[in-house]
C-alpha cells in the first residue's frame, strides 16, 4: 500500500530538559500522522463518530527508538497500512529527521469500535475498500 507522509517540526514543548523529544511524544506524532492519513482518504473522525457510529482506538503498539529527535528538527512521519482485517488496521510507521535519518520504527494496531458500546465492530465496507485500494 501507499506510504502516507506527514511533515512535522519539533517544538520546545515536545522536548525534555535536555532538548530531546520526550519518548511518549513520539506516540503523539505517530497518532497525528494516522489521523491525517484518514483525513486524506476523505474521512473526518468526528463525522465517523456521529454518522457511522464508529471510532478507531489503538489496541497495540510497538516502537523501536533509534536516534533522538531534538528541538526544532524537521520530521517526516510515515504511515503504511500493513494489514487490514474485518475490525482492525495494522500500520507500520517511521519517524525520520529530514531528509532521511530514521529516528524510530513502530507497528500500531488500531481497532474499529462501536461508539456507544465501545466494543469491536466491523470497519464499514466503503471505508475498508478505500483503505485497501489506497
What percentage of residues in the chain have a pLDDT greater than 70?
100
pTM recorded for the entire structure: 0.95
Q: What is the pLDDT of residues 59-79, one digit of tens each?
A: 999 999 999 999 999 999 999
Q: Tell me the chain's radius of gyration from C-alpha atoms.
A: 16
Q: What is the pLDDT along the chain (134 residues), one digit of tens a residue?
A: 799 999 999 999 999 999 999 999 999 999 999 999 999 999 999 999 999 999 999 999 999 999 999 999 999 999 999 999 999 999 999 999 999 999 999 999 999 999 999 999 999 999 999 999 88
- Annotated active-site residue in 14, 16, 64, 100: 16
Between CA 128 and CA 50 the distance in angstroms is 18
**Residue 44 is among the residues annotated as catalytic for this protein:** no
Which pLDDT tens digit goes with each residue over 89-106?
Answer: 999 999 999 999 999 999
Amino acid at each position: 500500500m501507499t506510504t502516507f507522509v506527514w511533515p512535522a517540526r519539533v517544538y520546545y514543548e515536545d522536548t525534555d530538559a535536555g532538548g530531546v523529544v520526550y519518548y511518549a511524544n513520539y506516540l503523539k506524532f505517530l497518532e497525528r500522522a494516522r489521523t491525517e492519513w484518514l483525513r486524506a482518504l476523505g474521512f473526518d473522525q468526528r463525522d465517523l463518530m456521529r454518522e457511522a457510529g464508529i471510532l478507531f482506538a489503538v489496541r497495540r503498539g510497538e516502537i523501536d527508538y533509534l536516534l533522538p529527535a531534538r528541538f526544532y528538527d524537521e520530521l517526516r512521519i510515515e504511515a503504511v497500512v500493513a494489514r487490514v482485517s474485518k475490525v482492525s488496521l495494522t500500520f507500520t510507521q517511521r519517524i525520520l529527521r529530514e531528509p532521511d535519518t530514521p529516528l524510530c520504527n513502530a507497528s500500531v494496531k488500531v481497532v474499529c469500535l462501536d461508539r456507544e458500546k465501545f466494543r469491536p465492530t466491523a470497519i464499514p465496507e466503503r471505508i475498508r475498500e478505500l483503505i485497501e485500494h489506497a
